[in-house]
Structure 1
Amino acid sequence: MFHAAPTPRRELPQAREAAGADRTARAAQPSGVPERTPDPAPKAGRDAFFDNAKYLAIVLVAMGHVWEPLTDGSRSAEALYMTVYAFHMPAFIIISGYFSRSFDMRKDRLQRLVTGVAVPYILFETAYAFFKRWADDDPGHPISLLDPWFLTWFLVALFIWRLTTPLWKVVRWPLPLALAIAVLASVSPDIGDDLDLQRVLQFMPFFVLGLCLRPEHFKMVQRRAVRIASLPVFACALLMAYWAAPRMSSAWFYHRDSAQELGTTWWIGSVMTMALFGCSIVLVACFFAWVPTRPMWFTVLGAGTLYGYLLHGFLAKGSRFWGWFDDYAWLHTPAGEIAVTLIAGAIVTALCTPPVRKAFRFAMEPTMAWAFRKDATDTARERVSL
């Protein structure tokens, strides 16, 4: 048989339309914490469950930050603070890992990693440094991209975790390996503070767990039986935290220090790392059990959680720099604690809204087409579409 003579390569109109539709669908897919994360499977629209979970988690993050200065004089506030810190960031990280399952070294995904994670890190790390110089009257505070300050550690961690995603896909036992790395980090005080590697390594098992999860796993925790069982579990967690509040430092939940830096031995640090991971997973499952699966009034805000996360940091730190919790004693009363909790929730909710996202998109989701080189395939595709 003779092969037919080659014909000029031109896309049919239907093919061009299908390719355009595919690109549009990919751009509209849901994400983990930042909305630029590729979806592991094609879906029509966003998944309300994950947007609801992200919004509720960011509200808990903001509330936790206003509870922190209240914990010194209130054992109940300390117990609530420790309980929430046991699961709110692990929940975020698990969702981030879940929506990173399709990440590879493809050009467009690497570009989105740079524009959606690296660039916001550089901009907000610089902005936080200038803010501290002004608000805290600290003109000598350095601008160091190697030493994340306050909230920006998460962007560094997400960048590193996502780059390692292809490696976790090829190893046989990813979660046990990630746990082993976390335990080793927790007993290694010489790691230092560069890029907040202690947090990157100690929180990494949650990201790897998210990579290992499938949709059916989230369906399991949404069952009515799990929802009912989560109530006594949360009650026990609060009672345990109330007992532990005067006996245990809440710094264990930050995962930013080694066991030796927290004043204990290496073997206790190893046990604590594994125990806290187990407790966090149980509480995250209880949290997910109560997240609504249907669209709610706040579902649309789930797409802007990274905005709320980074922007509320200025007020969270400013309240300390300006001495609000020291100057107003009523904030340390039960009514004051409830008031600041509601205010924190309202502020972070406002920061997740579409108008705020539109105003700060230049910093959070820059296109930066000028910064990336076009390959021959892109150039040829554009030429054919003309």
Structure 2
Amino acid sequence: MSSAGADIAGPTTGSVQRRRRRVPFWDNARYACIVLVVLGHAIQRLIYDSDIAFAFYLALYAFHMPAFAIISGYFSKSASPTRTQMARVITDIILPYVIFETLWTLTKWLIEGEATPNFTQPSWTLWFLLALGIFRLVLPYLALLRWPLLWTVIISIGSGYLPNVDSTFSLSRTLGLLPFFALGWWLRERGIVDRLRLLDFRPWWIRACALAVFAATGWAAWNWLPVWQAVDLRHWLFYEDSYSDLVGEQWWAGAIRVALMLLAVVLCAAFFALIPRGSYWWTTFGQYTMYVYLLHSFVLYPFRESGVLRDLEPTWIWLPLVTLLSVVVALLLATKPVRWLFRPLVEPRPRWLFRDPELASREGRRNDPTGSRRPRPESRAS
């Protein structure tokens, strides 16, 4: 695994890697993405009783995980990984997955009275950890090919025709979202953002167009909601089910995924166009999305399972309130006390696991799932 942080320059000259100032935009984008993740999970119970919540949910799921994948790809490298980087696939992805999958198994057993341990079937949000691990492992091979973006699109479309490509090890979602990860890497590899000055040049009309895109998406989601419910658009946006489970054996099913991917790219572009470029008091929280991602599901679990989020009326009060609470949850889970308490679970460093213990203790700079780098140890910098 190899990820370049927002404070590290992309190209290198000789053997010297040039450093530059951290770009607040990317931390802002990370935090905005993780808020949308929390929000999407928080409002899920509202969609059964509220058409407005359902339309909002569809518009959100049309782009928020593709945006996360694009950011992750942007800060990933395709070069052959070093021993330390290979060890971090284990410590940053595999071990947290095993730890939190175990915690979820125990939680289900304690609360629901039954649980069947199965580490091949990720619980709730943990699928993205496995997806990131697979993304980073296959990227060096994709980079060897001509037209890597085209190949990932073909893989994404083709995998939907295969019923045996399912949620085992989150393979269906991983292959479905692979083009977005590859797109992020390609943008960095080709220097598109820097060459076109996409972070510097942002006139008012670009933001106006971005707002218009979201307004049109919201209008379409609300105005044609019965259509989207009839075609089960919600599950199409998960990139998880095979086409045969969604529309049967239809040869044209892949075209729907193409349309959804194009929509996601447009919405992601609009989303990034609206992300502020400056540094704010909350910007630093974008460096700790791993904590929010892994912990927020435990915070939401009692609300989801107890049914307190059902039959909440009026929607115009409860939907904004749940949105606000999602922002607060994302803030609290990224604070220093929470990080200090859960660091052994989220960022394990088991020296005993490696033949060379230094591979676990060689901290350097820590990576978040989306490639954010930050100084270590946290006791010296937060």
TM bucket (normalised to shorter chain) is 0.7 to 0.9
Bigger share in helix: 1
Instruction: Give the CA RMSD over aligned residues.
Output: 2.4
Q: Determine if contact 2:291/2:339 at 8 Å carries over to the other structure.
A: yes
Distance in 1 (CA, whole Å) between partners of 2:92 and 2:79 is 14
Q: Does 1:307 align with 2:281?
A: no
Q: Determine if contact 1:39/1:100 at 8 Å carries over to the other structure.
A: no
TM (norm. structure 2) is 0.83
Counterpart residue number, 1:62: 38
Counterpart residue number, 1:138: 113
Considering Cα pairs closer than 8 Å and 6+ residues apart, tell me whether 1 or 2 has the greater RCO.
2
Do the aligned partners of residues 295 and 373 (structure 1) sit closer, same or farther apart at CA in structure 2, a change above 3 Å counting? same
Counterpart residue number, 2:52: 76
Selected match of 2:62 from 82, 86, 89: 86
TM (norm. structure 1) is 0.82
Selected match of 2:145 from 171, 175, 180: 171
Counterpart residue number, 1:384: none
Do the aligned partners of residues 268 and 149 (structure 1) sit closer, same or farther apart at CA in structure 2, a change above 3 Å counting? farther
Instruction: Kindly provide the amino acid, as one letter, of the partner of residue 47 in structure 1.
Output: V
Decide which moves more: 125-134 or 42-51. Answer: 42-51
Deviation for aligned residue 1:257: 0.4
- Residue segments in structure 2 that go unaligned for 5+ positions in a row: 12-17, 359-382
Counterpart residue number, 1:358: 340
Q: How does 1:311-330 map to 2 (within 5 A)?
A: 311-326=295-310, 329-330=311-312
Counterpart residue number, 2:320: 338
Q: Determine if contact 2:53/2:315 at 8 Å carries over to the other structure.
A: no
- Residue segments in structure 1 that go unaligned for 5+ positions in a row: 1-25, 32-36, 377-386
Selected match of 1:220 from 172, 194, 198: 198
Q: Does 1:230 align with 2:214?
A: no
Q: Determine if contact 1:38/1:102 at 8 Å carries over to the other structure.
A: no
- Pair member with larger Rg: 1
Do the aligned partners of residues 226 and 126 (structure 1) sit closer, same or farther apart at CA in structure 2, a change above 3 Å counting? same
Counterpart residue number, 1:288: 272
**Deviations 1:297-341 (CA, angstroms, capped at 9, x unpaired):** 111101111110110011223212222124xx4455321222122
Do the aligned partners of residues 212 and 362 (structure 1) sit closer, same or farther apart at CA in structure 2, a change above 3 Å counting? same
Counterpart residue number, 2:380: none
Distance in 1 (CA, whole Å) between partners of 2:357 and 2:121 is 35
Distance in 1 (CA, whole Å) between partners of 2:8 and 2:166 is 32
Distance in 2 (CA, whole Å) between partners of 1:38 and 1:186 is 37
Distance in 2 (CA, whole Å) between partners of 1:363 and 1:72 is 34
Instruction: Kindly provide the amino acid, as one letter, of the partner of residue 317 in structure 1.
Output: Y
SS at match of 2:122: coil
Distance in 2 (CA, whole Å) between partners of 1:45 and 1:117 is 27
Q: Determine if contact 2:294/2:346 at 8 Å carries over to the other structure.
A: no
Selected match of 2:5 from 17, 27, 30: 30
Deviation for aligned residue 1:373: 2.8
Counterpart residue number, 2:29: 53
Deviation for aligned residue 1:191: 1.8
Counterpart residue number, 1:127: 103
